[in-house]
Structure 1
Amino acid sequence: MAPAAYRKLAGLIAATFTPFTPQGEVNLSVIGPYIDYLSEQQGVKGIFVNGTTGESLSLTVAERKILTEEWCQKAKGRMDHVIVHVGCMSVKDSQDLARHAAQTGADGIAVIAPFFFKPRTAEALREFMKEVASAAPNLPFYYYQIPALTGVNVHVRDVIEGIEKLIPSFRGVKFSGCDLMDFGQCVSYCQADWSVLYGVDEQLLAALAMGAHGAVGSTYNYIGCHVNKLLSAFEKGDLVQARAIQFKMQELLSYAMKLGFDVGVNKQLMAELSGLCLGPPRLPLMPCPHDHAQLIVQKYHSLFSKR
């Protein structure tokens, strides 16, 4: 068996929320029950921590480190994969977090493109990633593409061209864009030990048809059990069932988007459905209005029956 750190990523991976106290401080006490909920109630065995859903760019480096330590410690023996996002605007901070993730026992690291001073070319982005990966050369390294937030629209296929020579630890992409042509070309180029994971939850089925190895997303925190059925149906060739589940996801998210769906609303939805106390989002995100959360919860229950 391959070492845990180099087991190929596949299936559903939940992009976790960062629990805060009502006063807005990191609340580590929720992380153990959170992992139990994902494993036992949602059937999710992989987590992506300190990413967009985890409000990473609103956290200090010190906060990101203590969260990494707690997620890795509590997930040991419970989760198959803990991938830690270490992207920052500063390459030095990213390297610091990468070294820390390696020392803490993470199964891999991921990096978004810096987006204040943006890399204008694939070469510039590869060089940034090379420097971060060099700080943890034995950890699987993933590029986390999310152009809607970074504004970096360099084609991922161009970024990964020859990257295995520059970054020997490179193991794949978290592709959170809507360009399925670029996505398909990434899958086509993908090396045997890489994973191309899709990050737009409402379009997962299309990505599976293009060859996605798995998915990373926020909604898998609370509808992972249903999406696992989608994956199973797709693997069996039952597209009718797979589409039915995907369409329910789309209806839920379309409804939520009309109410102003963002990380704060999503976080409150997770809290309502899981019973976990996740606290408010951190500024500049605003707390979800109570009535909006209740409307989305009602919509969820109308679409998805209990297991």
Structure 2
Amino acid sequence: MMVDESLLMQRMAGRKLSGLIAATYTPMKACGDLNLDVVPAMVEKLLLDGVSGLYVCGSTGEGMSLTTRERQLVASAFVNATAGRVPVIVQVGHNSLREAQELAKHAQQIGASAISATCPSYFKVASVQSLTLCMQELAAAAPETPFYYYHIPVLTGSSIDMVEFLTHADEAIPTLVGLKYTDTMLFEFQRCLELSNRKFDVVWGCDEMLLGATATGARAAIGSTYNLAAKIYRKMTLALASGQLETARQWQSKSIEMICTIGRYPFHPAMKAILAMQGLDVGPCRLPLESLSQSQVESLRESLDAIGFFEWSGDTSKPSDA
């Protein structure tokens, strides 16, 4: 396929993401089927909360538990509902690179702002060369769409040095613009940010460490808990930008407390349960993720109430001491 270089350059010119990008959940019915009628309401809530982009069909969106056709339907629903108001990045990684190519082609056809992909994970990718070849083959299917590699070693089992990957893949993948960096190694994240005179757009992926990443130089972050509490993260980054470091620390502390509380339960099912508590019913997760029992939902609500979540995740001006 011929690359329209002028169109590619136009799309990549304003390529750097900024702010909070919500890793969206995939709404489902009780039977496990997609419930895409909910997507417009999800998008409006996120935009009202101040997110600046959406990341679709990633780990949070259970992309790996969906069929290729389902993933295409989900991507289309979010692109249509967003209507160009914020960037939509579609995660197209798959154990089958052929399926990943189909997802990448579709994302380009529907006008996604960018694509992103994990590497194949059943057969482990063990070298920079192998990772580059895999991502080169995948990204070539969407030659006019910016590409972000999704680095999440805890799930893929691939812990390849990202500085080496960016250096090696730079010329091999013309559409490569950066990474979704979901690891806790701030020093490697900083090296990636500073590589080649800050050429690459490296987006942070660990919500509970956003303050440290922002201080290190992160301009954008993709995360699950921005679905629930984008407002506290925005207050944290605004406090940091205005020199109110102690206030910023307090907001990050609230985030950590929230995440640790949710982490006592199966995480993504608990997140979906909390969205329902906030008035947005996105249904259950799909197996192998098990839904919470009613007693677990009640216990989760009590635990969140005990830490003041429902107060300080709203429109408060200062972190609550609750």
User: Which bracket does the TM-score occupy, shorter chain normalised?
Assistant: over 0.9
Equivalent residue letter for 1:201: D
Superposed displacement of residue 302, structure 1: 5.3
**Stretch moving more, 95-104 or 293-302:** 293-302
Specify the alignment match of 1:269 in structure 2.
274
**SS at the partner of 2:167?**
coil
What CA deviation, in whole Å up to 9, does each residue of 1:251-287 have, x standing for no partner? 1112222x224211122122222x1121110001111
- Tell me which amino acid in the other structure corresponds to 1:266: M
| 1:281 aligned partner | 285
Q: Is 1:117 aligned with 2:123?
A: yes
- Report what 2:50 is aligned to: 43
Distance 1:4 1:155, change over 3 A: closer
1:301 equivalent in structure 2: 310
In the alignment, which residue of structure 2 is the partner of 1:7?
15
Report deviation, 1:35: 0.5
| Cα distance in 1, alignment partners of residues 54 and 223 from structure 2 | 9
Asked if the contact 1:19/1:27 (under 8 Å) is kept, the reply is yes
Label 1:6 to 1:133 Cα distance change in 2 as closer, same or farther (>3 A). Answer: farther
AA in 1 matched with 2:83? K
CA distance in 1, matches of 2:288, 2:255: 27
Q: 2:258 touches 2:304 (CA, 8 Å); kept in 1? A: no
SS of match in other structure, 1:14: strand
Structure 1 residues 305, 74: CA separation in 2 closer, same or farther (over 3 Å shift)?
A: closer
Correspondences of 1:134-213 after superposition (within 5 Å)? 134-189=140-195, 192=198, 194-213=200-219
Partner of 1:165, secondary structure, is helix
- Aligned residue type for 1:132: L
Query: 1:14/1:306 Cα in 2 relative to 1: closer, same or farther (>3 Å)?
Result: same
In structure 2, the residue matched to 1:229 is 235
Tell me: CA distance 1:21–1:281, structure 2 relative to 1, closer, same or farther (3 Å).
same
Structure 1 unaligned regions, length at least 5: none
For the aligned residues, what is the CA RMSD?
A: 1.8
Instruction: Count how many residue pairs are aligned between Structure 1 and Structure 2.
Output: 303
5 Å-filtered alignment, 1:12-91, equals 12-40=20-48, 42-78=49-85, 80-91=86-97
TM-score (norm 2): 0.89
Identical columns (%): 36
- TM-fit CA distance, 1:6: 4.0
The question of whether the paired residues in 2 share the 8 Å contact of 1:252 and 1:296 is answered with no
Structure 1 or 2, whichever has the larger Rg, is: 2
Alignment match of 1:260 (pick from 254, 262, 265): 265
Q: Distance in 2 between matches of 1:260 and 1:277?
A: 18
| Structure 2 gap segments, 5+ residues each | 1-9, 317-322
1:216 to 2:222 alignment: yes
